[in-house]
Amino acid sequence: MRMKHLIVFIGGLLFGFGLAFGGMAKQEIVLSFLQLKDLGLLLLLGGSAFVTALTINLVPKVLKGPFLGGEFKRRKRTLNRRTIIGAIIFGIGWGISGQCPGSAWSSLGVGNIPVLIGIASMFIGAYIMGRFFT
């Protein structure tokens, strides 16, 4: 259990470092991507998805399971209207503010304190979803 938290923490350090290195902690850079002035974030998304795809698809051929036990599973989600409507609503919020959940945490790490407003709002949005739309 302690080991699991340590591993997740180290992976989180890398995740946050990479987000900040790639500019995601700055809403201005995210917005300049969404306004198609700087397409660099496509490379960030593509690069991270590519490395992850290699891992998820190749490592289970070599190892029987994760080192801490259990089994390797793909991330599976069923496609339905909620998937798409949710993605539309997320896209609107992303385009308005340049924030998404992971990048908001990395923003705190670069001292981008106003994003606390965004994180508090994400909690409220997630609560409204779970409270009234399930």
Partner 1 sequence: MFPLGLFPYIVGGIIIGIGVSFIYIITGLHATQSSFFSTTLSYFSKRPYFQQKQYLDSRGWRITFAVGVILGALVYTLTLSPEGFFTTSVQWWRLALGGLLVGFGTRLSKGCTSGHGISGLGSLSTTSLYAVITFLVVGILTAMIVQVLRVIP
Do residues 129 and 108 lie in contact, with contact meaning Cβ atoms separated by under 8 Å? no
Q: Is residue 64 a contact residue for partner 1 (CB under 8 A)?
A: no
In the complex, what is the shortest distance from the CB of residue 61 to partner 1, in angstroms, rounded to a whole number? Answer: 13
Please provide the size of the chain in residues: 134
Binders of partner 1 among residues 3 to 62 (CB under 8 A) are 4-5, 7-29, 31, 34-57, 59
34 contacts: CB under 8 Å, gap ≥ 6: 94, 95, 98
Burial classification of residue 30, based on how many CB atoms lie within 10 Å of its CB (0-12 exposed, 13-18 middle, 19 or more buried)? buried
Please name the residue that has the structure tokens 């965004």. Answer: 118
Instruction: Give the per-residue contact string, 91-110, with partner 1 (x = CB under 8 A; - = no).
Output: xxxxxxxxxxxxxxxxxxxx
Q: Which long-range contacts (CB under 8 A, 24 or more apart) does 100-103 make?
A: 100/24, 100/30, 102/15, 102/19, 102/24, 103/19, 103/24, 103/25, 103/30
Of residues 72-91, which lie at the interface with partner 1 (CB under 8 A)?
72-79, 82-91
